[in-house]
Structure 1
Amino acid sequence: MAKKPKKAPAEGEGGEGEAPKSKKKLVVIAAAALLAAGGGGGFFVMKKRAAAHAEAEQAAQQPVDTRKTAVFLDVREMVLNLTPELGQDKARFAKLRIALELRDAKVEAEVKPLMPRVEDTLQVYMRELRATDLAGSAGLYRLREELLRRVNIALHPARVEAVLFKDVIIQ
């Protein structure tokens, strides 16, 4: 096949034919530059987010050590008589030393003025118990849970994390 010869443009047509082509090239180049700039900016933003997300995951995986911030507050030693068993005349006594585990020193400042209320709550509850209620590890576990519940009620809005036994002697 033979090529057809090109027509020579007329005087006014030459400039108009090339101008749309050069405008198209400029638009394509500008769009490519805009796309590259947007893509680069997006890449940096996503990389920064991914790094922040990785740091947050790493911090969440590390266990929080409560031993560093926990405060232990001793309760005055208590010696109290227990309710006698049915058919038994001999009085039974319990000697109890406990500590309260608090979240931090700020909570300790809230709890210290309320210690007489705590001691009263513990005394009243413990005098209702029998020696068989405190028998074995299950009895001490139930005692710990009940003391924690009653102490938290007495100290509300402050909160005790745990009740810890130092000495428990039943005679």
Structure 2
Amino acid sequence: MAADVGDSIKGKTGRRRTQLLLPGAILLAVLTGAFGFYAAYTGVLPVPGQNGSHAKGAKTLPVIAFVPVDPVVVSLGHGGSDRHLRFRAQLEVNQPYEAEVAALLPRIVDVLNGYLRAVDAASLDEPTALIRTRAQLLRRIQMVTGEGRVRDLLVAEFVVN
């Protein structure tokens, strides 16, 4: 009988420990998660992938300007075709070269007209026509203006009708 009493005491305390262990573990997990959130939210702990060195090493953007190019309307095809291409764009230039590029606009429009008149009307129906035409025109404009002056060609209107 004395052995039975000892076993029942050990059984009750063992059961009590397991009953307290589960809620204690859940409470510990919740508190740890809450502390982790607080520390990351307030900046005490750095969040992986968002370190502060990213902002320190960031370069300042160069000062740029946009030079509008006169709209160009080109007839496509030979003779009896009534198709036309309307093209309007702006040049992204480094600001120190804005006046130089603006002075070269007549020559740039001439290059645009020359290339767009030579383009086959059937090739403009392809899905990659705008990308290909933009790359070709940008390279030709950079040849006219000189290296480092024109950064990009921004196509505002490219309509074939």
Match of 1:98 in 2: 89
Residue 150 (structure 2) pairs with residue 154 (structure 1): no
TM-score normalized by the length of structure 1: 0.57
Are the aligned partners of 1:80 and 1:127 in contact in 2 as well (CA < 8 Å)?
A: yes
Counterpart check, 1:142 vs 2:132: yes
Separation (CA, whole Å) in 2 of partners of 1:108 and 1:119: 16
Gaps of 5+ in 1: 1-56
SS at match of 1:75: strand
SS of residue paired to 1:76: strand
Q: Which residue of 2 aligns with 1:71?
A: 65
**Partner secondary structure for residue 77 of structure 1:** strand
* Offset, 1:127: 0.3
* Distance (Å, rounded) in 1 between the aligned partners of 2:126 and 2:148: 31
1:82 equivalenced with 2:76 (yes/no): yes
In angstroms, what is the RMSD of aligned CA positions? 2.2
Corresponding residue of 2:36: none
The one of 89, 92, 113 aligned to 1:123: 113
- For residues 73-125 of structure 1, what are the alpha-carbon distances to aligned partners after superposition, in whole Å with 9 as ceiling and x for unaligned? 100011111234xxx93231101110000021x11011111111000011011
Task: Give the drift of 1:169.
Answer: 1.0
Per the alignment, in what secondary structure is the counterpart of residue 157 of structure 2?
strand
Alignment partner, residue 15 of structure 1: none
Instruction: Report percent identity of matched pairs.
Output: 29
Any stretches of 5+ residues in structure 2 without a counterpart?
A: 1-52
Task: For 1:102, give the aligned amino acid.
Answer: V
Contact 1:82–1:91 (CA under 8 A) maintained in structure 2: yes
Tell me the TM-score normalized by structure 2: 0.60
CA separation in 2, counterparts of 1:136 and 1:60?
45
Deviation of residue 137 (structure 1)?
4.1
Aligned amino acid, residue 82 of structure 1: L
- Tell me how far apart the structure 1 counterparts of residues 74 and 124 of structure 2 sit (CA, whole Å): 14
Residue identity matched to 1:74: P
Q: CA deviation at 1:158?
A: 5.5
Moved over 4 A (4+): 57-60
Aligned length: 109
